[in-house]
Amino acid sequence: MTQRDLIRRLPKAELHLHIEGSFEPELMMQLAARNRIDLRFRTLDEAKAAYNFSNLQEFLDLYYEGMQVLRTEEDFHDLTWAYLQRAAADNVRHVEMFFDPQAHTGRGVPFGVVTEGILAALKRGETELGLTSYLILSFLRHLPEEDGFALLKGSEGWHDKFVGVGLDSSEMGHPPLKFERLYKRCRDMGFKLCMHAGEEGPPQYVREALIDIGVDRIDHGNRSMEDPALIQVLKDTQVPLTNCPLSNLSLCVIRDLKDSPVKAQLEAGLMVTVNSDDPAYFGGYIGRNYEKIADALTLSDAQVVTLARNSFAASFLPEAAKAKHLAAVDAAAR
Ligand code: HPA
Ligand code: ZN
């Protein structure tokens, strides 16, 4: 079996995926027409030409612009359903999906419209594709902590629909401790805690997320590798890192895929996973992320299998479900 075949056959979980970042320009143009909204881009080529970023903020500006055309429950359903079909084609069996409610409620789209549209597609994914999913409510870190508390209150009727919370958007200048009280509240409410940290921000941000806040998962975490003591904590605690190779390359977090920390993290015994982040913007869904990183770092087949195993081990699934998926990974690897 070639490594390509192995990657295709391996069951995977995707743990770092922003549903709004799976908005393909083709669908964006369709929804713009359906909702009679003018987009800055007239053609697909024009849109794709803009997908050229030198940092996180340049991407975020376009990401928030693109999602303006998402207005109705049907729009959020169609967006989510398109992602699930692509994920299933890459043999994703379980997804833990971020969404950014404040980016929608802030422009007048009610929380219920966003959430019910996504949930309808997730339900369909389970019945039609056998793909299970958890939803993660993400706070925008460039906004005040107070706004996060308001989101928590505004989403009260849906709390049983979320496995946890996340923190995304502009990292620099918005350290984890800005959200210390909000995260304490979320923990007390029983939510799992995720946070983007160390994508652009310094190792200190990862420390705050990991040690001061006590998150269950670190999203990205690249810059942890600058701090040997932090690497040791990640190894001892096995708190997962959700790496996103093509995202790192697109946003100039790394200059070349060969500079990705994934292999070093595997070799250091960290609980690292590979994910797509915002696949419509960064040139590939999860299968392509596995392929590209395996090629660039000359990962062994055993290391590729470890990445697939880690994706389930690092998920928020109950232990019995994890065991079932891990057995399927091992069967596919034989
Ligand atoms: N980083 C921060 N915020 C985000 C990202 C990311 O990679 N994707 C979507 N929002
Ligand atoms: Zn992300």
The residues annotated as belonging to the active site are 199
Task: Measure CA 97 to chain center.
Answer: 6
**Strand, helix or coil at 72?**
coil
Q: How far is CA 157 from CA 55, 112, 273, 277, in A?
A: 36, 9, 32, 27
pLDDT above 90 (res 80): yes
* Mean pLDDT within 270-281: 98
- Position 249 confidence tier, pLDDT thresholds 50, 70, 90: very high
**Ligand 1 atom nearest to CA at 63:** 9
In angstroms, rounded to a whole number, what is the distance separating the alpha carbons of residues 129 and 65? 31
- pLDDT tens digits, one per residue of 1-56: 999 999 999 999 999 999 999 999 999 999 999 999 999 888 889 998 999 999 99
Distance between Cα 17 and ligand 2 center (Å): 6
Q: How far is CA 77 from CA 25, 80, 88, 283, in A?
A: 16, 5, 16, 22
Helix, strand and coil in the chain, % to nearest 5: 60, 15, 30
**Strand, helix or coil at 52?**
coil
Distance between Cα 195 and ligand 2 center (Å): 9
Closest ligand, as measured to the CA of 141: 1
Distance between Cα 311 and ligand 2 center (Å): 16
Residues enclosing ligand 1, CB less than 6 A? Answer: 18, 21, 56, 63, 168-169, 196, 199, 247, 277-278
In the chain, where are the structural domains located? 3-333
Q: For the domain covering 3-333, report its CATH number.
A: 3.20.20.140
pLDDT above 90 (res 228): yes
Against a cut of 0.75, is the pTM above it? yes
Q: Residue 95 class from Cβ within 10 Å (0-12 exposed, 13-18 middle, 19+ buried)?
A: buried
Percent above pLDDT 90 for the chain: 97
What is the predicted pLDDT for the residue at 42?
86
**Ligand 1 atom nearest to CA at 169:** 3
Higher pLDDT, 47 or 98: 98
**Counts of helices then strands in the chain (DSSP H, E):** 17, 8
